[in-house]
Amino acid sequence: MAGSRLVHLFLLILFVPSLRAAPNTTAVVSRIAFGSCANQSAPQPVWEAIVGFDPQVFIWLGDNVYGDNKRPFRVFGRERTVGPWRNVPRFYPATEEELRGKYELAKANPGYAKLRERARVIGTWDDHDYGVNDAGKEYSGKVFSQRLLLDFLDEDEDSPRRKQAGVYASYMFGPEGKRVKVIMLDTRYHRDPLLSDGTILGDPQWQWLERELRGPQSEMTIIGSSIQVVSNLSATTRPLFYVESWARFPRERERLFKLIDTSKRNGVLFISGDVHFGEIARFDCGAQYPLYDITSSGLTQSVENSVPAVFQSVMRLLAWLTPTPMRVFSPNCRHKSCSYGQPNFGAIEIDWNAVTPRVKIELRDLQGNSVDGVEFPISELKPSNAHANKKGGHSFEAHCSLETELPWLVRHRLALLFFGTIAVFVIAVVLLVIACCSATKLFTRKCKMA
């Protein structure tokens, strides 16, 4: 009987991750990896590079699986999913059984399984694992979606996250003097419709976030948001396309910046996903020190891989032409645009042993090589008299011009280029047709005269 119990205990320790590797939250954390947008049905070579980075913590930033279903891209026909005659949505929700199967497939990936053995895995969701593309509080399946996400993350059965409305959570790692706080936001469960300028977080989550920011201090505070906080790509790409971001809810974003500012919290930076490319953005006028937003997207999904290889250079040119006053441009970038449109992950390294502790944040490719990065003392992320929350011309305020404040021609140059190119092409075709008709008439006349 005792031997049977020992066997059962051994099997539990072997197969239940939460028992096999109980998290030690007091150990010093110096390496954190993060990422988003991982199609469970696609090859996922990125895990080898992430495991090679050897993070102590890995953070999911949403679209951890692509749980919703997608109809074909059709402009014409019975079911038109795009264009002015669209009559059905392109994306529609999966059943609970379908979503569970997709999570099981993702969790069984050998590379990801290896990471789970070595690192503490935490995370939040975005739209495709929440339920359906661009969904918010109106989504009817969010209760079972929350349960399945928390199962995927190996959340304890008695976790508060299983009892609350939404998957927001916080974690404190490290001993005193080397503490890292991670705050995971839920930008889906309570979010009002797009274009409403309503709420993203909802009142309960706002109250919780204020308590977290005003609570015990930490040397660094990483806020994970599934959508971008600093960049406002839609302001410079519309009407060609739009992406979700905090800037689509300007009052909410202003409230977030104000809360960080008034809380006097040290070391705050954002990490985000969603957009299928990577970039590092910075806003110098949101608080009393620069606010960085490091976007890593995606682990499998990327803008360049969504087009034929011959057009990838065109995508990079368009990325360079898109006005982005918040993006950090540096010699560390692989491409001139300082955005990266191939699969990538984010890597944070903290040197606690330096005379002045420093943090290095990078975007890395499938081989684990850096494609973009910034490095600075952690002390740069502290409120001080020199860093006033005003556009007063301080040297640190290099990133204060919002996309919406750019001159009209600059803000819309991508759309002007696109429609201008189409206009030139149409005019060229018309002129060619006229020339062909004229030549045909002339030839006909000559034939008759002959």
What is the structure's pLDDT at 349?
98
Closest CA to 373 of 382, 364, 381, 365: 364
Do 356 and 377 contact (CB within 8 A), yes or no?
Answer: yes
pLDDT at 281: 97
Instruction: Give the residue from 169, 155, 98 showing the smallest Cα distance to 129.
Output: 98
Place of tokens 């264009």: 83
Contacts of 150 (CB under 8 A, 6+ apart): 159, 161, 162, 167
Whether 246 and 206 have beta carbons less than 8 Å apart is answered as no
Q: Quick one: pLDDT at residue 158?
A: 95
pLDDT along the chain (450 residues), means of 10: 42 37 75 98 98 98 97 87 86 96 98 98 98 97 98 96 97 97 98 95 98 97 98 91 94 98 96 98 95 97 93 92 93 94 98 97 98 97 63 58 91 90 94 91 79
Conformation bin of residue 393: beta by default, left when phi > 0, alpha when psi is -120 to 50 = left
**C-beta of residue 339 within 8 angstroms of C-beta of residue 278:** yes
Say if CB 31 and CB 118 are below 8 A apart: no
pLDDT given at position 139: 97
Q: What is the DSSP letter of 255?
A: H
Topology (CATH) of 31-406: Purple Acid Phosphatase; chain A, domain 2 (3.60.21)
What is the SS3 string spanning 332-397? CCCCCCCEECCCCEEEEEEECCCCCCEEEEEEECCCCCEEEEEEEEHHHCCCCCCCCCCCCCCCCC
Residue 104 CB-half CA count within 13 A: 6
Element (H or E) spanning 237, and its range?
helix 234-237
Predicted TM-score of the model (pTM): 0.90
Cα separation, 339 vs 322, whole angstroms: 11
3-state secondary structure 11-48: HHHHHCHHHHCCCCCCCCCCEEEEECCCCCCCCCCHHH
Distances in Å between the Cα of 250 and the Cα atoms of 188, 195, 254, 358 are: 16, 10, 6, 32
**Rounded Cα gap, residues 228 and 249, in angstroms:** 12
The token pair at 386 is: 């020199």
Distance of alpha carbon 51 from alpha carbon 173, whole angstroms: 20
- C-alpha 358/C-alpha 351 separation (Å) is 5
pLDDT confidence of residue 440: 87
- φ, ψ of residue 182 to 5 degrees: the values are -115, 125
Alpha helices, H only, 78-181: 96-107, 110-118, 127-130, 142-152
Structure tokens at 64: 């951890």
